[in-house]
Amino acid sequence: MTDALSRLLETRDWLLADGATGTNLFNMGLTAGEAPELWNDEHPDRIRLLYQSAVDAGSDLFLTNSFGGNASRLKLHGADGRVRELNRQAAEIGREVADKAAHPVIVAGSVGPTGEIMSPMGTLTHETAVEMFHEQAEGLKEGGVDVLWVETISATEELRAAAEAFAMAGMPWCGTMSFDTAGRTMMGVTSADMVKLVGKLPNQPIAFGANCGVGASDLLRTILGFAAAGPERPIIAKGNAGIPRYHEGHIHYDGTPELMAEYAILARDAGATIIGGCCGTMSEHLRLMRDALENRPRGERPTLEIIAELLGKFSSTSDGTGDDQTPVRRGNRRSRS
């Protein structure tokens, strides 16, 4: 175990990750449609502040401002030629903040999806996807991240491509998928499917899990699904602070800091080791999450009923795992004999 995250995991039985990036940058003046990654160059002070606020709130790990830092996304802003530079900057600012922190802090290089559908269903080939992820990975590595962190993935092909690219960069990595459609990813991947997929990857992640999705309740149902499938690696839970509402010209997520503290405890009891927030999670949420994780004892693995009672209802009745009542697809007369 030579990497910093694995070393930290050996000494701790939970880690607090960070919260939102996009939502927090909005509050610093990012306007809708702007590429947050350009701020690594234009407003490094604001990005430093973003990282610092997570560290000050007690995060053991934060993600860099590089979610949309691949060529496919940066192209929209005419910045596809700046992948390496923008990712390196995102990482360098992070390195600087982490190295000054009073407690050990892991800098995780955020890598988001390409936004394209991979072949055969779509047009993005495996080779091109690997190339894009690799380019971004090299920039983040150059800037000094401890670990690469691919997130909000919905297709198994894309996770595989990222894993392959990270092996090329020779970097340890973590990966999370977004389970936002009836408890599965948009592409139909269940929590149990992801455990199987991760187990078969030639380049194994340090930890894996779920981020974003719908609300905190749905995310915990996914964590229970991971745990039930008996994974061999630590589980990551990074759920949204409730759901977005539009309030006086601002996006505001309705999950309170108290609710997110409850979520953090339940996530740990459900089997997650790395616990953080996603969209809408601000430093006040992180502070209460830290406090709860430090001061409240571990409990039993929560049931779905308890999660729904404490955090709110699920977005769908089932999530396609276990012996639940997921309706099955129609048969075709062609296959009947």
Partner 1 sequence: MADDEIILSELDDEELVAQMFDDLYDGLKEEIEEGVNILLERGWTPYDILTKALVGGMTIVGADFRDGILFVPEVLLAANAMKGGMTILKPLLAETGAPRVGKMVIGTVKGDIHDIGKNLVSMMMEGAGFEVVDLGINNAVEKYLDALESEKPDILGMSALLTTTMPYMKVVIDTMKEKGIRDDYIVLVGGAPLNEEFGRAIGADAYCRDAAVAVETAKSLVARKHNQPAAH
Binding annotation = 212, 278-279
H helices of 185-256, in order, are 191-200, 216-228
CA distance 90 to 110: 9
CA distance 145 to 36: 18
Closer residue to partner 1 (CB): 231 or 320? 320
Write each residue from 244 to 283 as x if it is in contact with partner 1 (CB under 8 A), else as -, in one continuous string.
xxxx---x---------------------------xx---
Total number of residues that touch partner 1 (CB under 8 A): 54
Q: Which stretch binds partner 1 (CB under 8 A): 6-14, 32-40, 165-173, 191-199?
A: 32-40
CB 290 within 8 A of CB 57: yes
Closer residue to partner 1 (CB): 81 or 115? 115
Q: How far is the CB of 327 from partner 1 (least distance, A)?
A: 5
CA distance 67 to 35: 10
What does the DSSP assignment read for 20-53? -SHHHHHTTT--TT--GGGHHHH-HHHHHHHHHH
CA distance 182 to 190: 10
Exactly one of 26, 125, 168, 291 binds partner 1 (CB under 8 A); that residue is: 26
Classify 92 in phi/psi space as left (phi over 0), alpha (psi -120 to 50) or beta.
alpha
> Does 78 interact with partner 1 (rule: CB under 8 A)?
no
Q: Give the rounded distance of the alpha carbon of 83 from its chain centre.
A: 20
Q: How far is the CB of 114 from partner 1 (least distance, A)?
A: 8
Closer residue to partner 1 (CB): 150 or 265? 150
Exactly one of 243, 304, 306, 310 binds partner 1 (CB under 8 A); that residue is: 243
Which tokens belong to 288?
């209460």
Applying CB under 8 A, the residues found at the interface with partner 1 are 20, 22-23, 25-26, 30, 32-36, 68, 72-73, 75-77, 115-117, 121-122, 154, 178, 180-188, 243-247, 251, 279-280, 316, 318, 320, 326-334, 337
